Amino acid sequence: MPDRDKALSIADPHQLFRNSLEQATDAVFVLNADNRVIFLNAAAEALYGACRTQVVGMHIDTLVQRLPGIGNAAHAAGPGPDSEGLSPLPAVQIQRRDGTLRFGYVAESRTRLGDATLHTLLVKESAGASREGHPLLSVIADEIDSAVLVVDADWRIVYANAGLTRMLGFTPGEMAGKTPAELLAGEFTDPAVMHRLQTPRPTAATERHEALVYARCGSPLWVSATVRHLGRADGAQHHGIVILSDITQKKTYELLQRKVLHAMVMEQPLPAVMELICQEVQRVAPAVIASVLRVDADRRLHTLAAPGLPPHYCAALEGLNAGPMTGSCGTAAWFGEPVVVSDIATDPLWDGYRDLALPLGLAACWSYPIKAGDGRVLATLAFYYRTVRRPDAFHLQLVEVCVALCKLAFEREEAAERILQLDRYDSLTGLPNRSLLQRQAATLLLATQQAGATLSVLFVDLDRFKHINDSLGHAGGDKLLREVAVRLAAQAGDGALVARLSGDEFALVLPNSDRTQTIAAGERLLAALRQPLRIDHVSIAPSASIGISMFPVDGDALDYLLHCAEMAMYDAKAAGRNLFRFFSIEMNWAAQERLALESALREALIGEELHLNFQPQVFLRDGRLYGLEVLVRWQHPHFGTVSPARFVPLAEDSGLIGTLDRWVLEQSCAQLAAWRREGLSVPTISVNISPASFRDPTLPAQVAQTLSRHGLPAEALMLEMTEGLLMEDDASLAATVAAIHAQGVRLSMDDFGTGYSSLGYLRQLPVHQLKLDKSFVIDLESDAAARELASAVIRIGDSLKLAVVAEGVENEAQRCFLLSQGCRMGQGYLFSRPLDAAAVAQWIATPRPPAEPGDRHSQR
């Protein structure tokens, strides 16, 4: 190794150069052609940490190593032979004798001294964590968002960029000489990860770890640490570079969000989603013990998830009433505002609960309300801590994310419940629908069976609901249905199930109810339903027909019991409505027949099975023909002759009535036109029109078209409406009737006296005649009351200047009585049974002896 004297043997003329190098504050190494040091100044001695005799002769590469990066491309190519002066300043590290590292920039120059070329290296040091010596590299490093640390072989920080200060708040002075672990580890930092991060590797290697570290202010954050070990050629570790990137966002929010959203997508139940949120919070923020409490409609708290809290603590808080001084959660639920209690031991909000929390080591609790869109507090999210502390930025961000996720989960649950509600409950009345009734009844039936008890199933169908709906409009109909639901539910009794099956059909299941109790319930229900109610200023008295089946005698499954009850309900309808009937096996046959009949009727309307009969209406005094009432007949190949009393209500129920009435009207007019062409004198025909057709606003036009199609004058036609229509104080019905009247077509009130028509309304309707119902006429001889009523009806007709036609006149006595009371027209077997068209011609052509004129004395 060349010695110091040899270096000093440089000739005197160079003394000046030597002296000036010696004075330089930067380290100077002078190299020979082999890049070995032949001279170094005092600054270089200090930089390397050894006296110059130890350095002279060393290869420069063992002293100064170029760092990859800025300025080093030119350097890496090596100084060119003609390069004079200073090249750009490449960054270098100085491997000191004691193994520690120093950093600096290097300037090189070549100087010719005689034949020799001296290669001079000027190293400007950037000592330790100070960056003054690295202007360019430092500027770049400082621009990086990540924290960049350079550690020496002892893993002590010798350099840190500004990113570290930005990320963690430490000043360079606080960092210098510390290991990254000393600087960054905190209460919940995983020691194993820190250990790996701190362990030097003998060879060049890169490792990546994720760690929870703490900023200067104590707030935790997640970092990804990339450690680059720079091994020395001899295998010894000489330094490392640690790059820290803040992954708090990714680690916490993104991951947390992704996991929680995934759970929601997988339709996990709410408590499971809340559990996951709490667990995730505790994973990313180990200082936190998280819990979620549901706040019910009565503002009571119920634990949904609290994976880090002992069960007895949750049990003690179960059902807690929210209030203004009820710990963190109860108070947050009460005010709908976050409540931060940083010291449970002293905060008065915890006065009543402290003894629960403190023994468990719970020292602080922050609670945040989770609110619905309408401001209701649905739940509270609590962060408990084992130390007294106030919120920090990281945990606040975590709270923000979790509250949003909880809100989403709760909203999702509410939406799911709404869907379930829609699926199981009737939206109009709020009653269970058929499918929920089925589930509920299944349990009830099982329990009843096990107890050996009985129960009853009631099928409730409103009477004339369609008619109310048509005349009051759907809003009115809806109001009625809601009211009926309320009344049924109020009367059903404890443990009963009440459901809306469809339209105006409701079902009740009365547990532990025998026949006697069911009769009492049926009467109670009918009485409650009958109470009048006002809908849009119209007072209506609803009624219902109820069919009842009993478990277990009638059946053991709800579906079948409902079917039986429905049969019984039809029986109740047929028996006059507003009453209840118990199921009997015969009803089943009747119902099957009814179904068959309904489908047969559809075919009859298309086919040739319907035909018309005509029944003469005569002047009671002399038997002259006044008009013909058209009565439809159905001759079915299998059912035989079906009475209109049977199939007209069926046609009304099944929506076929409009078609039927139009068909009868058409056929009647065609027949009358034919008779008139034949010269047969038929003054008028009376066609029965059912209430549903009267509610059809196109009826006047249909009537007009039919008449004109057959060339008939309006006076040739009379339309019979039933008294039931009079109960409807309906403007559109009145308009239809008025339009028919305006055409000159007359209207007759059929079956008068059987209903409860308002005489006031009758007066307003342009009705031309009344038909005294045959029930009065038939009883005339036997029943004084019938006589009174018949006389009253005749007087009403008189006073309203209406013609009165008595129906069902079967004998002379009736004819005479009616005549004596001033009734002028009649219809009945006494004069003629309903006849087919051919027989009508014959009947008219047959001369009859004039009837005995009746008078008051013929009255019995």
- Binding positions for ligand C2E, rule: CB under 6 A: 615, 630-632, 643-645, 648, 661, 664, 688-690, 720, 750-751, 774, 807-810, 827-829, 834
Q: Which of residues 783-812 bind Mg ion (CB under 5 A)?
A: 807
CB 627 → ligand C2E: shortest distance, Å?
A: 13
Q: Hey, what are 822's tokens?
A: 């001033």
Q: Which stretch binds Mg ion (CB under 5 A): 503-511, 613-621, 687-695, 758-766?
A: 687-695
263 binds, among Mg ion, ligand C2E, none (CB under 5 to 8 A by kind): none
Whole-number Å distance between alpha carbons of 779 and 785? 9
- C-alpha–C-alpha distance, residues 309 and 666, integer Å: 83
CB-nearer residue toward Mg ion: 399 or 777? 777
Q: Which is nearer to ligand C2E, 456 or 690 (CB)?
A: 690
755 to 722, 723, 780: CA distances (angstroms): 9, 6, 19
Binding mask 726-765 for Mg ion (x = CB under 5 A): ------------------------xx--------------
| Least distance between ligand C2E and beta carbon 421 (Å) | 43
Contact between 166 and 119 (Cβ < 8 Å): no
Q: How far is the CB of 530 from Mg ion (least distance, A)?
A: 27
> Measured from the CB of residue 651, what is the shortest distance to ligand C2E in angstroms?
8
Question: What is the Cα–Cα distance from 544 to 570, expressed in whole angstroms?
Answer: 11
Q: How far apart are CB 834 and ligand C2E at their closest, in Å? A: 5
The site partner of 137 among Mg ion, ligand C2E, none (C-beta below 5 to 8 Å per kind) is none
Residue whose CB is less far from Mg ion, 107 or 685: 685
By a kind-dependent CB cut-off of 5 to 8 A, residue 808 interacts, out of ligand C2E, Mg ion, none, with ligand C2E
Alpha-carbon radius of gyration of the chain? 52
The one of Mg ion, ligand C2E, none whose footprint includes residue 455, by CB under 5 to 8 A per kind, is none
**201 contacts 223 by C-beta, under 8 angstroms:** no
From the list 382, 386, 316, the residue with the least C-alpha distance to 352 is 316
User: How many CB atoms sit inside 10 A of residue 252's CB?
Assistant: 22
Q: Which is nearer to Mg ion, 71 or 808 (CB)?
A: 808
**Taking the complex as a whole, how short is the minimal distance between the CB of residue 832 and ligand C2E, in angstroms?**
8
Residue among 571 and 629 whose Cβ is closer to Mg ion: 629
Considering beta carbons, is residue 125 or 807 the nearer one to Mg ion? 807
SS (H, E, C) 613-660: EEEEEEECCCCCEEEEEEEEEEEECCCEEECHHHHHHHHHHCCCHHHH
CA 24, 29, 32, 33 torsion-angle sign: negative
Stretch that binds Mg ion, among 520-528, 584-592, 688-696, 811-819 (CB under 5 A): 688-696
Q: Does the protein bind Mg ion through residue 688 (CB under 5 A)?
A: yes
Q: Give residue number: closest CB to ligand C2E.
A: 828
Instruction: Specify whether the CB–CB gap between 435 and 505 falls below 8 A.
Output: no
Instruction: Measure the CA–CA gap between 614 and 632, rounded to whole angstroms.
Output: 8
Q: Nearer Cβ to ligand C2E, position 43 or 719? A: 719
Question: Using CA atoms, how far apart are residues 368 and 380, in angstroms rounded to an integer?
Answer: 5
- Render the burial of 366-384: b for 16+ CB within 10 Å, e for the rest: bbbbbbeeeeebbbbbbbb
Binding-site partner at residue 828 among ligand C2E, Mg ion, none, CB < 5 to 8 Å by type = ligand C2E
> Could you tell me the smallest distance in angstroms from the CB atom of residue 831 to ligand C2E?
8
Q: Measured from the CB of residue 840, what is the shortest distance to ligand C2E in angstroms? A: 14
Q: Which is nearer to ligand C2E, 525 or 733 (CB)?
A: 733
Residue 690 touches which of Mg ion, ligand C2E, none (CB < 5 to 8 A by kind)?
Answer: ligand C2E
- Candidate ranges 267-275, 689-697, 718-726, 732-740; the one touching Mg ion (CB under 5 A): 718-726
Q: Is the peptide bond before 552 cis (omega within 30 degrees of 0)?
A: yes
Q: Pick one of ligand C2E, Mg ion, none as the site partner of residue 644 (Cβ within 5 to 8 A by kind).
A: ligand C2E
- Round to whole Å and give the CA distance between 639 and 146: 94
Q: Which does 426 bind (CB under 5 to 8 A by kind): ligand C2E, Mg ion, none?
A: none
Q: Which residue lies nearer to ligand C2E by CB, 478 or 810?
A: 810
Q: How far is the CB of 473 from Mg ion (least distance, A)?
A: 29
Question: Taking a C-beta distance cutoff of 8 angstroms, is the pair 484, 462 a contact?
Answer: yes
Beta bridge partners of 117: 112
Nearer of residues 547 and 627 to Mg ion, judged by Cβ: 627
Q: In this complex, which beta carbon is closest to Mg ion, that of residue 470 or of residue 720?
A: 720
Torsion of CA 667, 670, 675, 681, to 10 degrees: 90
Are 455 and 448 within 8 A, CB to CB?
A: yes
Count Cα neighbours of 326 within 13 Å in the Cβ-side half-sphere: 20
**Interacting partner of 171 out of ligand C2E, Mg ion, none (Cβ under 5 to 8 A depending on kind):** none
309 is in the binding site of which of ligand C2E, Mg ion, none (Cβ under 5 to 8 A by kind)? none
Closer CB to ligand C2E, 240 or 808, in the complex: 808
Out of ligand C2E, Mg ion, none, what residue 705 binds, judged by CB under 5 to 8 A for its kind, is none
Q: Alpha carbon of 563 to those of 547, 566, 598: distances in Å?
A: 10, 5, 18
**485 with 429: CB under 8 angstroms?**
yes
Q: What does 648 bind: ligand C2E, Mg ion, none (CB cut-off 5 to 8 Å by kind)?
A: ligand C2E
Minimum CB distance to ligand C2E, residue 490 (Å): 38
What backbone phi and psi angles, to 5 degrees, belong to 247? Answer: -115, 20
- Minimum distance from CB of 557 to ligand C2E (Å)? 38
**Least gap, CB of 846 to ligand C2E (angstroms):** 18
Closest to ligand C2E by CB, 189 vs 693, is 693
Q: Is 860 exposed, middle or buried (0-12, 13-18, 19+ CB in 10 A)?
A: exposed
The Cα–Cα gap between 265 and 603 comes to 53
Decide if residue 554 touches Mg ion (CB under 5 A).
Answer: no
Residue 720 makes contact with Mg ion by CB under 5 A: yes
Residue 235 DSSP class: S
**Cβ 607 to ligand C2E shortest distance, Å:** 17
- Please, what is the minimum distance in Å from the beta carbon of residue 618 to Mg ion? 15
The answer to whether 671 and 708 have CB atoms below 8 angstroms apart is: no
Question: Distance of CA 188 to CAs 199, 213, 306, 395, 692, Å?
Answer: 20, 8, 20, 14, 80
Helix (H), strand (E), coil (C) string for 360-418? HCCCEEEEEEEECCCCCEEEEEEEEECCCCCCCHHHHHHHHHHHHHHHHHHHHHHHHHH
723 near Mg ion (CB under 5 A): no
Stretch near Mg ion under the rule CB under 5 A, chosen from 130-138, 324-332, 439-447, 714-722: 714-722
Q: Where are the beta strands (DSSP E) in 47-141?
A: 64-66, 91-95, 101-113, 116-126
Of 177, 171, 159, residue with least CA distance to 243: 159
**Closest approach of Cβ 643 to ligand C2E, in Å?**
5
643 binds, among Mg ion, ligand C2E, none (CB under 5 to 8 A by kind): ligand C2E
Rounded least distance, CB 588 to ligand C2E, Å: 26
Check binding of 566 to Mg ion (CB under 5 A). Answer: no
In the complex, least distance from residue 835 CB atom to ligand C2E, rounded to whole angstroms: 11
**Cβ neighbours for 420, distance < 8 A, ≥ 6 positions apart:** none
User: Which is closer to ligand C2E, CB of 17 or CB of 619?
Assistant: 619
Closer of 95 and 688 to Mg ion (Cβ): 688
Residue 597 and residue 611 in contact, taking contact as beta carbons nearer than 8 Å: no
Residues that bind Mg ion (CB under 5 A): 688, 720, 750-751, 807
